[in-house]
Amino acid sequence: MKRKYLTQEEIEKLLSATDRMPFPERNRCLILMAFIHGFRASELLGLRLSDIDLAGRQLYIRRLKNGFSTCHPLLPYEYNVLKSWLRARKYLEKGADGDWLFLSLRRHPLSRQQFFYILREAGR
């Protein structure tokens, strides 16, 4: 039977691979949050800056399936990775298309295709 999940070691390899990719802060944050919170791609890419409470170290999550939305705590490592991405993201804010958390280099919300490309590249 084929395994349908990644091991901790495999996730760590994906995260390490982001160091050799363009926009490592975004990609590390993207992959880390996907695995910590069990996001579907559309839920992750639908996150907005207004969904983040840095002071309270919480993340508001709009679940698409079953419509159950909730708040999750930001883990210490996740919090630091997120802050690093938010610092790097400031360079993209001018002219950005909305307050989406994850932006492309063209300042648009990251697409599903871009997200899957990032995962594929990290997995090489």
- Report yes or no on 20 lying in a domain: yes
Q: What is the three-class DSSP state of 52?
A: strand
Q: What is the CATH number of the domain that holds 23?
A: 1.10.443.10
* Residue range 27-44: mean pLDDT, rounded: 95
Confidence at 10, pLDDT banded by 50, 70, 90? very high
CA distance 78 to 84: 10
Q: Which of 51, 53, 81 is nearest to 69 (CA)?
A: 51
Structural domain including 74 reads 8-122
Q: How many structural domains is the chain composed of?
A: 1
- Report yes or no on 106 lying in a domain: yes
- Is the pLDDT at 94 greater than 90? The verdict is no
Mean pLDDT of the chain: 92
CA distance 46 to 15: 21
How is 1-27 classified by DSSP, letter by letter? ----S--HHHHHHHHHHGGGSSSHHHH
- Report yes or no on 2 lying in a domain: no
Which pLDDT score is estimated for 116?
96
Q: Which of 41, 42, 62 is nearest to 51 (CA)?
A: 62
CA 106 from chain centre, in angstroms, equals 17
- Report yes or no on 3 lying in a domain: no
Residue given tokens 């997995």 in the structure block:
123
- pLDDT per residue over 40-76, tens digit each? 999 999 999 999 999 999 999 987 777 788 999 999 9
- Report yes or no on 1 lying in a domain: no
- Is the pLDDT at 12 greater than 80? The verdict is yes
pTM of the full predicted structure? 0.90
